[in-house]
Amino acid sequence: MFRRTFIGAVASTALPFAARAQDAWPIKPLKIICPFPAGGTSDVMARLVAEPLTKELGQQVIVENVGGAGGTVGTLRASKMAPDGYTIVQTGVGQNAVAHGLDPKLGYDSMRDFIHIAQVHTGPNLLVVHPGQPFRTFTELVDHVRKNPGKLNYGFTHAASGHMAMELLKQRASECPKGVKECNGFFMVGIPYRGGGPMLQDLLGGQIPLMFINQDVALQHVRAGKLRALACTSLQRNHLYPDVPTIHESGFPNFQALSWSGMSLIKGTPQPIVDKFEAAMRKIMTSAEIKQKLESTGFVVPAPGAQAYTAFVKSEIDLWTKVIKAAGIKAE
């Protein structure tokens, strides 16, 4: 009887302590697990958020880069950490959508193991060609490929957003137009690259004719006339490329292939902490400063809040799992 009474007394005192700890959160530095190396877009977005989060929460927020296997190494490690609110996970298209289509045994489930709090950015891919190519418009390119299957090459890096955009285009463009019973499909030969840097250099040098590339990377080369942008993969035209039509408006309704990232917490994080973190992220993502920084390089500020981001992640998993299965793409 004494033992049961003692345990009950300890439990009753622990509960108020836990509640006070949640109310006081954060009382020590936090870290954002960025599952990619320093210097890339994901790292830039993590650091973009870390600075205002530090001011908003009153504790230092540091970025820890844990790269490997397309973001899955860092994401898996983060999923095993304590759900105490001191580990923030940077989620994104590669590690939290594409990866599920490539490997059903990742070791983590993006919808089950994380609480998705706030989307930080979306960015379209641009379909770009070397200026020495004859294609002046997206329609001209599509017509050429349909009439000359297998005679045009493109560059890609495995499982990157540009690779996924091309696979989606190939699948959508292979469908016969309404009223047409037979068509030649839409077949091009993919040239694989280990990294986006070497691929871009080959495109600029004319060794490959075309590829999909993130809008921020393409900007200086398009403006300098070293690349020609034919189409954009967002539903709306990008404000930095007002004369570049979307694929959606060019005969492929609802075509969308985006790069994106956001901030998530580990499943099991106490609700008071989740609520505090969401409020902080909502304030940051609706600030004029963040809006200016993102839009200056062609990124789009997403709808704020956990509900919008959670629904978006689910829709991306569904989309890319379907595309990857249809294309027969496997993990490297």
* pLDDT given at position 175: 83
Helix axes 138-147, 161-174, angle to 10 degrees: 60
* Neighbour tally for 142: CB within 10 Å: 20
CATH architecture group of domain 124-250: 3-Layer(aba) Sandwich (3.40)
**Confidence class of residue 332 from pLDDT cuts 50, 70 and 90?**
confident
Q: What is the mean pLDDT of residues 192-219?
A: 96
Reply yes or no on whether the pLDDT at 88 is more than 70: yes
Average pLDDT over residues 79-96: 98
What pLDDT, on the 0 to 100 scale, is given for residue 185?
Answer: 80
Nearest to 255 by CA among 151, 329, 170: 170
**Residues 259-287: pLDDT tens digits?**
999 999 999 999 999 999 999 999 999 99
Q: What backbone torsions phi and psi does residue 116 show, to the nearest 5 degrees?
A: -85, 120
pLDDT score of 19: 61
pLDDT at 18: 56
Q: What percent of the chain has pLDDT over 70?
A: 91
Q: What is the pLDDT of residue 264?
A: 98
Domain boundaries, the chain: 2-122+260-327, 124-250
Mean pLDDT, the chain, rounded, equals: 93
Residue 6: predicted pLDDT: 47
How far CA 169 is from CA of 218, 221, 269, 298, in Å, comes to 19, 23, 39, 22
Task: Tell me: pLDDT of 33 over 50.
Answer: yes
Residue 27, pLDDT score: 98
Global pTM reads 0.91
The pLDDT tens digits for 232-267 are 999 999 999 999 999 999 999 999 999 999 999 999
For residue 266 the two structure tokens come to: 């580990």
Q: How far apart are CA 331 and CA 308, in angstroms?
A: 29
- CA triple 187-190-192, angle to 5 deg: 170
Q: What is the pLDDT of residue 325?
A: 96
Superfamily (CATH H level) for 2-122+260-327:
Bordetella uptake gene, domain 1 (3.40.190.150)
pLDDT for the residue 268: 98
Identical fold between 2-122+260-327 and 124-250: yes
Is the pLDDT at 47 greater than 70? The verdict is: yes
Angle between helix 306-327 and 161-174 (nearest 10) = 60
Q: Mean pLDDT, to the nearest integer, of 195-201?
A: 94
